[in-house]
Amino acid sequence: DTGVSQDPRHKITKRGQNVTFRCDPISEHNRLYWYRQTLGQGPEFLTYFQNEAQLEKSRLLSDRFSAERPKGSFSTLEIQRTEQGDSAMYLCASSLTGGRGDTQYFGPGTRLTVL
């Protein structure tokens, strides 16, 4: 199965520490999205890439968050100086072209707990 994978699946950290998550999209997909989901809510858009270019960032993405997608393959999402409010499930999704009817395939997510 060559679906979207995310690593790690769970991360527990102390407030103030930096964390980095990785997403490996489906290999031929050009679009890659990051979302955040808190308990009882639907996922909320954070940012997206078209190949290696980061084209849009949500207002939810503070300056402590940075994302990269070198060479248009895997992507990383880093959170610096974590806060308890950053505790959430971080989801990655990829799609072939990014058209409005295109299916986004989601990874299993990384659950972050900030103590």
Report the interface residues with other proteins, using CB under 8 A. 4, 31, 33, 35, 40-45, 48, 55-56, 91, 93, 95, 98-109
Closest distance between other proteins and the C-beta of residue 23, in Å? 12
Closest distance between other proteins and the C-beta of residue 43, in Å? 5
Q: Where are the alpha helices (DSSP H) in the chain?
A: none
Closest distance between other proteins and the C-beta of residue 100, in Å? 4
**Considering beta carbons, is residue 14 or 42 the nearer one to other proteins?**
42
Q: Pairing state of beta strands 65-68 and 88-95?
A: unpaired
